């Protein structure tokens, strides 16, 4: 059966105290909306519609950046979830199939939950959860295994507020049925809004069936405050750590490792304490990431060793058995197999050939104040400590640069390049200089008195 998603992302999120639309706040390196879209994508939808409102252009741009096929509906005035769905339904005119309504600020719903909702046989399916503290959630009214209605907290009686089975807001129904039920909604309630949840009672009044699919409470966490955002991040990281270890990745101190939404790590990899993965990182099997590293937008091949205290920035590719040591920063650079960059170096916009050794303090001077330039280093070269490679420049295979050199011209294969001032030694001068410095210091002190 065909499936469509409607993702509600129109709210301002005033409790976030932010100019940024709520659904664009990030969890694990990606906007909340992207997490909701990714969760919905596991249902293999034929159509995806995002309903925007506050910050509509920004939200639409983020949605299209993640999925260029997404369709956008705009809710100019926020009049409730039912009204938001009504704004999306014209885009589904003629669509035949199941529709799932998700929320752009609810990022933790699992694929298994959506599959269970699609597999349910009832006309309307609602996702519910048993709340530890039901608070102001809407309550699900269930008798004999059938769902009869959803009561918002503002409209609930005291007895209804004692119910612990709560509404997540996620609903699935046939497109034609959803269209008919939404068209019949009214705003006669405490908030003066059109509640999507009222379609359950409307369906039951027509003699149709409704049921609840349940999931753990943590899965339905909606982000309304900064505290909620932090709680969602904690939940995501806990799940990601558990999944990584189950797949054969060693986390020495799991609670100190942070993953992005798209981190990929091969089995037999070892991750030390206090490692942060930004978006776009792939680590192949058998690599080792030592403590206190920050990685983003990079690819690390099998057997590579990174850190401690290394930073890999976007565009970095490490070949097999590469060693990147402490306090090394690499950006938009390709290091072929067996390259060693031991410590205290910066390689930006560079290509380094196999088994080359980069000495401590080496810098590729890649930016002239206007444009970036590349440095190319051949295989089995030896770059002496404290070498400045002023790009654009090439160092040939098996070439050597002297320590402390400033290399401004290409170096041929097998050549030695030394670019530094000649050392001058003046015997006995240091004692005279120190005596002069002391006398000057005494003179200044007396003048100050």
Give the active site residues.
343
d(CA 74, CA 161): 34
Residues 6+ apart with CB under 8 A from 330: 298, 310, 311, 312, 313, 316, 318, 324, 341, 346, 347, 348
Find, among 370, 374, 346, 372, the residue nearest to 358 by Cα: 346
Question: 3-class SS at 135?
Answer: coil
Please, are residues 210 and 125 in contact by the beta-carbon 8 Å criterion? yes
The answer to whether the bond into 197 is cis (omega within 30° of 0) is no
Torsion sign (Cα): 25, 31, 34, 38: negative
Residue 26: CA count within 13 A, CB half-sphere = 9
What's the Cα-to-Cα distance from 98 to each of 87, 90, 207, rounded to whole Å? Answer: 17, 15, 19
Strands 30-31 and 26-27: antiparallel
3-state secondary structure at position 432: helix
Q: Given phi > 0 = left and psi -120 to 50 = alpha, else beta, which region is 135?
A: left
Distance CA 197, CA 311 (A): 48
How far apart CA 56 and CA 84 sit, in angstroms, is 13
Distance CA 115, CA 166 (A): 20
**In this structure, are residues 129 and 109 in contact, taking their beta carbons and an 8 Å threshold?**
no
Residue 294 dihedral angles phi and psi, to the nearest 5°: -125, 120
Beta strands in 178-293 (DSSP E): 210-214, 250-251, 264-265, 270-271, 276-277, 282-283, 288-289
Q: For residue 433, what are the contacts with CB-CB under 8 A and spacing of at least 6?
A: none
Residue 327: CB partners within 8 Å, gap ≥ 6?
A: 309, 310, 343, 344
């Amino acid at each position: 059966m065909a499936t469509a998603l409607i993702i509600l992302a129109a709210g301002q999120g005033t409790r976030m105290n932010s100019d940024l639309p709520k659904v664009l706040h990030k969890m694990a390196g990606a906007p909340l909306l992207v997490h909701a879209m990714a969760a919905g994508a596991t249902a293999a939808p034929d159509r995806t519609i995002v309903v925007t409102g506050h910050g509509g252009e920004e939200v639409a741009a983020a949605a299209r950046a993640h999925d260029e096929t997404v369709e956008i509906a705009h809710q100019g005035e926020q009049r409730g979830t039912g009204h938001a769905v009504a704004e999306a339904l014209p885009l589904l005119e003629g669509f035949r199939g199941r529709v799932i309504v998700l929320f752009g600020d609810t990022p933790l719903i699992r694929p298994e939950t959506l599959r269970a909702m699609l597999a349910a046989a009832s006309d309307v399916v609602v996702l519910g959860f048993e709340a530890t503290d039901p608070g102001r959630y809407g309550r699900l009214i269930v008798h004999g295994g059938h769902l009869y209605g959803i009561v918002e907290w503002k409209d609930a009686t005291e007895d209804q507020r004692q119910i612990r089975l709560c509404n997540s807001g996620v609903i699935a129904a046939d497109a034609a049925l959803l269209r008919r039920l939404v068209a019949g909604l009214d705003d006669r309630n405490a908030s003066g809004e059109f509640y999507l949840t009222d379609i359950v009672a409307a369906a039951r009044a027509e003699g149709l069936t409704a049921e609840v699919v349940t999931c753990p409470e943590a899965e339905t966490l909606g982000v309304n405050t900064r505290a909620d955002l932090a709680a969602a991040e904690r939940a995501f990281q806990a799940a990601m750590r558990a999944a990584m270890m189950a797949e054969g990745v060693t986390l020495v101190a799991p609670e100190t490792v942070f993953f992005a939404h798209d981190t990929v790590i091969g089995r037999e990899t070892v991750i030390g304490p206090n490692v942060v993965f930004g978006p776009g990182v792939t680590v192949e099997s058998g690599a080792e990431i030592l403590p206190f590293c920050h990685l983003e937008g990079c690819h690390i091949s099998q057997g590579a060793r990174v850190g401690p205290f290394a930073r890999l920035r976007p565009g970095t590719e490490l070949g097999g058995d590469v060693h990147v040591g402490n306090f090394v920063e690499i950006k938009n650079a390709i290091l072929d197999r067996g390259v060693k960059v031991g410590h205290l170096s910066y390689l930006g916009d560079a290509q380094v050939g196999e088994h080359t050794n980069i000495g401590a303090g080496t810098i590729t001077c890649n930016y002239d104040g206007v444009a970036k330039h590349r440095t190319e280093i051949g295989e089995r070269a030896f770059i002496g400590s404290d070498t400045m490679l002023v790009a654009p420049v090439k160092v040939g295979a098996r070439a050597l640069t002297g320590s402390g050199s400033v290399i401004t011209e290409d170096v041929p294969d097998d050549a030695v390049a030394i670019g530094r001032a000649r050392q001058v030694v003046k015997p006995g001068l240091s004692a005279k200089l120190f005596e002069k410095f002391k006398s000057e210091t005494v003179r200044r002190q007396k003048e100050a008195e």
